[in-house]
Amino acid sequence: MSQSQAFTQFTAKFPAYAQTAAIDELRTNEYGRLEREGQIYLDYTGGGLHADSQIHAHLKMLTERTLGNPHSNNPTSLAMTKLVESARSYVLSYFNASPDEYIAVFTPNASGALRVVGEAYRFCEGSQYALTFDNHNSVNGIREFAKAKGAQVHYIPVVAPELRLDMEATVEQLESGDRSKNNLFIFPAQSNFSGVQHSLGLIEMAHECGWDVLLDCAAFAPTNRCNIGRLKPDFAAFSFYKMFGFPTGLGCLLMRRDKLHKLTRPWFAGGTIQIASVQGNGHYLHTNEAAFEDGTVDYLNIPAIETGLRHIESIGMHLIHERVVCLTGWLLDTLTQLRHANGRPLVRVFGPTNTVARGGTVTVILLDKNGRVIDDQRVEELANHANISLRTGCFCNPGAGEVAHELTSREMVTFFETGKPVSFSELRMAMLEQFEKSVSAIRVSVGLVTNFADVYQCAMFMRGFLDKTTEEIGPAKFPSDHLLRDSA
Ligand SMILES: Cc1ncc(COP(=O)(O)O)c(C=O)c1O
């Protein structure tokens, strides 16, 4: 079917797409580099794209203003402080978080936000740290802080094929917390592996059971409204480049003021203290966001956050969301219908195959006509030839991957028993050889300025694998370890 015939069918099935035409215009005016370079960008879960106007606005500020390190009383410093604090207020208001209730801490990225909470949370003997299987590694890593302070770590399973939470296990876990201790629960509002959007009602449920909740919004915020003031998580983590592409070195942590006492910073640094003394051997931390921002913040880039948020607001999150739902729906329908001549499916989706409670992240493996898994690296290599940016690997989300690929704890433990480090490519090879299992997949993700042509080209690319065997498709030529990092 030609692209124009497919588009007619698409708009008949997803009529709401027509209401998002303003984004096509925006794409032409502001993201023209996609067309100029012939890029089919489908890695929005990895990173968002910036509009030209964001860069122009930033360049204007940099070239017109003389700005110094903030938090001093000289004119250039005062000017910078004003811009930084304006961006901070804007972040709070964008997420509908009242400054009376929340503080916004600038961090290098979402991982930085997660780390601030992880290392400072007052875990103790008898505390629990509960997290869902499908968390990003930057959430998994918090278990090291928890264990070091004597807390128990509990993973709540997700269930294949949709990779949604096992609700019975969730309720059981949350009800098991000892209310006299500090208990922390973290889950992603949207999984960066499966696109699953977990119920945000879990926040209230966890609160009722006496847990503190950190909501990881990194993959959710780019295409969904994040009403933090209404949801009331104790902590929420974001990466701004995922929302609007630029700047790449900034994220934020929203923290409820009434939960700051649950954190004890393990150190102090420049910027975080009111006073410190060498001879007095003491220090007093600030009592606001400054206590959590180590050293000099990325001040020249922080104003670009406000620009980015204003950009999103000028488009309208409802429009972005609607468009992503339509394109994801079409992609899922089309990919799941692809069948080899012998009737076998080409695509297996790891996650929901419809648009209910899911975002625009579609993770799949391709199967050849004999039902054998096609090497994802080979798929990526061939996608590269077509200028399609998709992502392969485990996406820093080993738990969801282990459930999706049916990897068992017995199998996984073998790689950690000896303590001898194993690289991702070694793990990949060993799992194939020892257990005939794959550990990686292919992720296609749509976002802010994806258009129908992008998803159509992607579906046509995948169609090209129909009726072929893995031998005919051949091995990947580029399996080098630097490309195989367990990345975002
Ligand atoms: C759900 C989720 N959490 C956390 C992160 C970490 O974000 P960053 O790499 O920007 O720190 C990511 C990145 O992909 C993510 O998708």
Q: Report pLDDT digits (tens) over 242-265.
A: 999 999 999 999 999 999 999 999
- C-alpha dist (Å) from residue 474 to 44, 254, 340, 376, 465: 28, 48, 18, 11, 11
> What is the CB neighbour count within 10 angstroms for residue 305?
28
Of the candidates 263, 284, 313, which is a domain's last residue? 313
Which atom of ligand 1 lies at the shortest distance from residue 191's CA? 1
Residues with CB under 6 A from ligand 1: 109-111, 136, 138, 188, 192, 216, 218-219, 239, 251, 488
Which of 45, 115, 117, 138 maximizes ligand 1 atoms within 8 Å of its Cβ, making it the mutation to test the pocket?
A: 138
Q: Is residue 42 part of a domain?
A: no
Query: Do 341 and 297 belong together in one domain?
Result: no
Least confident of 18-27, 54-63, 268-277, 477-486: 477-486
Query: Do 221 and 73 belong together in one domain?
Result: yes
Q: What is the pLDDT of residue 436?
A: 84
Q: Tokens representing 307?
A: 């620009």
Q: Is residue 48 part of a domain?
A: no
How many domains is the chain built from? 2
Task: Note the pTM of the prediction, 2 decimals.
Answer: 0.96
The answer, yes or no, to whether residue 154 has pLDDT greater than 80, is yes
Going by pLDDT thresholds of 50, 70 and 90, the confidence category of residue 480 is low
Going by pLDDT thresholds of 50, 70 and 90, the confidence category of residue 449 is very high
Q: Report pLDDT digits (tens) over 381-426.
A: 999 999 999 999 999 999 999 999 999 999 999 999 988 999 998 9
Among candidate residues 314, 315, 305, 312, the one with its CA nearest the CA of residue 86: 305
Question: What average pLDDT score do residues 230-239 get?
Answer: 98
> Is the previous residue joined to 421 through a cis bond, with omega within 30 degrees of 0?
no
Strand 128-132 to strand 183-188: parallel, antiparallel, or no bridges (unpaired)? parallel
Among candidate residues 288, 299, 303, 304, the one with its CA nearest the CA of residue 103: 288
Location of structure tokens 């098991």: 176
Q: What is the pLDDT of residue 432?
A: 87
Query: Do 409 and 284 belong together in one domain?
Result: no
Number of H helices, E strands in the chain: 20, 17
- C-alpha dist (Å) from residue 176 to 149, 169, 172: 19, 11, 6
The residues annotated with a catalytic role in the active site are 396
Q: What is the pLDDT of residue 435?
A: 86
The rounded Å distance from CA 199 to ligand 1 centre is: 19
- C-alpha dist (Å) from residue 380 to 29, 179, 349, 440: 29, 48, 17, 12
The rounded Å distance from CA 195 to ligand 1 centre is: 13
Q: Maximum CA pair distance of the chain?
A: 80
Q: Is residue 337 part of a domain?
A: yes
Location of structure tokens 């629990």: 128
Query: Do 71 and 18 belong together in one domain?
Result: no
Query: Do 333 and 365 belong together in one domain?
Result: yes
Q: What percent of the chain has pLDDT over 90?
A: 94
Of the candidates 253, 284, 313, which is a domain's last residue? 313
Q: Is residue 246 part of a domain?
A: yes
The rounded Å distance from CA 134 to ligand 1 centre is: 12
Of the candidates 267, 288, 313, which is a domain's last residue? 313
The answer, yes or no, to whether residue 483 has pLDDT greater than 60, is no
Which atom of ligand 1 lies at the shortest distance from residue 220's CA? 1
Question: What average pLDDT score do residues 32-51 get?
Answer: 98
Q: What is the pLDDT of residue 19?
A: 97
> What is the CB neighbour count within 10 angstroms for residue 418?
8
Which domain does 427 fall in, by range? 3-28+317-473
Going by pLDDT thresholds of 50, 70 and 90, the confidence category of residue 485 is low
Which atom of ligand 1 lies at the shortest distance from residue 108's CA? 11
The rounded distance, in Å, linking the Cα atoms of 478 and 389 is 15
The rounded Å distance from CA 45 to ligand 1 centre is: 9
